[in-house]
Amino acid sequence: MSKKSRLFRSHFRAWLAGEEMPLRERHVRTLHKKPHERPEPVPEDVRINRFIHLYHVSAVLVAVCIVAVLLYTVFHLPLFGSANNPASNEVAQRYIEQGLEETGAVNIVSGMILDYRAFDTFGESNVLFLAIASVLMLLLRDRNNIVLEEDVHEAHERVIEKANEDVILKRVANIVVPCILLFGVYVVLNGHLSPGGGFSGGSIMGGGLILFAVSYGPERVKTFFGWKTFRAIVVGALLCYALSKAYAFFTGANGLENHIPLGTPGAILSAGLILLLDICVGLVVACTMYGFYALINRGEI
Amino acid sequence: MSVVFECLLLFSLILCAIFALTQKRLLMVAIIYMAYSLIMTIIWAMLQSPDLAITEAAVGAGVTGILLFVTLKKIHALKGTKDE
């Protein structure tokens, strides 16, 4: 009796001090706080500590040096908005005054990036392609890149996801996803008429696809957007872009006349190649966005 | 009125940037980053560049946030989940 009460009193005191929880005794024993031990510093530790100290000091020194170099450069830049800047030349005026006439695009930004500067946009699309290719190399789970632990973990998580399906998310996605995809298609197709274009519309479509994949599971996306479709769309869109602009790239845009009629400005079928290029860029961007999500989340498309 | 609104937006932009740096929980950092992108969207729209606003809303607030969340889940840094 006295032993039991003494035990209870000691536990109660420990509980008051916040050292253990009011649980059964065998659980309580595991919750006792371990005394904090600090090992004696050995000579090697001292050396490492000294090195860490040196590391901090040198990091600050390097940062200060970089800041100084950058500030020195900034002070030697030409003044913002001055008339002698290299940026204020006759190119901008030409784009603004004759852009509509020469490219046929009402949206002057689209006319610039997909006609005058189509080569730059081609480079940007290739950057996206390279990004998704390197993510594929790193994260694709194929024969050579499988860890058993991860597989077990993934299967476990999939079971949990199947058991806890989110009804609210599904219902909302039912309504919202078609609107998002339609808006993305609208922005891409009207790139030469209204604000937007390939990049914005493609990222909207990619976001819609990701929302669909989150709410309905990647298996549903696979029924219409699998690995083969992904490959065909990305490579096909890039090839289409390259082939339709190849003559301009090789001749420096000076050699040939524009043989495609520009049409009436404001109509959807106008502005020559810009509509086609917008669609190509939009497809590449949408596939890249969805590819990033699918590869990071599951390691497969 | 619009000047006041603009100042408010810019001030909250700076606040978001500072909070994103000082937060300890990575999930909070991702959410604050998305809020930053949303404010940026409104600012682009007020600067009369709606194409940039559309792209910022889709990429900054949407896709980047989702990618950050998925990465946090992959490296088991989401608090309150079973992984941690």
Stretch (H or E) spanning B30: helix B26-46
CB–CB contact B63 A203 (8 Å): yes
Please report which residue ranges of A104-226 form alpha helices under DSSP H.
Answer: 108-111, 118-139, 148-163, 167-189, 198-216, 218-222
The model's pTM: 0.74
Q: Contacts of residue A204 in chain B, CB cutoff 8 Å?
A: 54, 58
A252: left (phi over 0), alpha (psi -120 to 50) or beta: left
The confidence score (pLDDT) of residue A282 equals 92
Compare CB distances from A207 to B49, B58, B71 and report the shortest one's residue. Answer: B58
Q: Distance from B74 to chain A by nearest Cα, in Å? A: 7
- Best mutation target among A183, A203, A210 (most B Cβ atoms within 10 Å) is A203
Q: Contacts of residue A109 in chain B, CB cutoff 8 Å?
A: 51
The confidence score (pLDDT) of residue A33 equals 54
Closest CA to A295 of A80, A142, A169: A142
Kindly give, in sequence order, each residue whose CB lies less than 8 Å from that of residue B78, ignoring residues fewer than 6 positions away: B27, B69, B72, B84
CB–CB contact A296 B71 (8 Å): yes
Q: Contacts of residue B55 in chain A, CB cutoff 8 Å?
A: 199-200, 203
| Confidence class for position B84, pLDDT limits 50, 70, 90 | very low
The confidence score (pLDDT) of residue A24 equals 54
Residue B83 reports pLDDT greater than 50: no
CB–CB contacts below 8 A, A to B: 45
A221 interfaces chain B, CB cutoff of 8 Å: no
pLDDT in tens, A13-64: 777 776 666 555 555 454 555 566 666 666 677 778 888 889 999 999 999 9
Please compute Rg for chain A using Cα positions: 31
- Best mutation target among A149, A150, A200, A278 (most B Cβ atoms within 10 Å) is A200
Those residues of chain B whose CB sits closer than 8 Å to some CB in chain A are: 49-51, 54-55, 58-59, 62-63, 66-67, 70-71, 74
Instruction: Tell me which of B80 and B19 has the higher pLDDT.
Output: B19
DSSP at A36: P
Closest CA to B55 of A16, A122, A259, A205: A205
CB–CB contact B54 A195 (8 Å): yes
Look-up: residue for tokens 């189509």? A118
Closest CA to B60 of B18, B32, B19, B21: B32
Quick one: angle between helices A167-189 and A274-298, nearest 10?
Answer: 150
DSSP at A268: S
Domain layout of chain B by residue ranges: 24-79
Q: Contacts of residue B58 in chain A, CB cutoff 8 Å?
A: 200, 203-204, 206-207
Residue A255's SS3 state is coil
Residue of A nearest to B66 (CA): A293
- Using 50 as the pLDDT threshold, list the residues of chain A that sit under it: 28, 30, 255
Residue of B nearest to A213 (CA): B66
CB–CB contact A292 B67 (8 Å): yes
The ipTM assigned to this model is 0.84
Q: Contacts of residue B71 in chain A, CB cutoff 8 Å?
A: 296
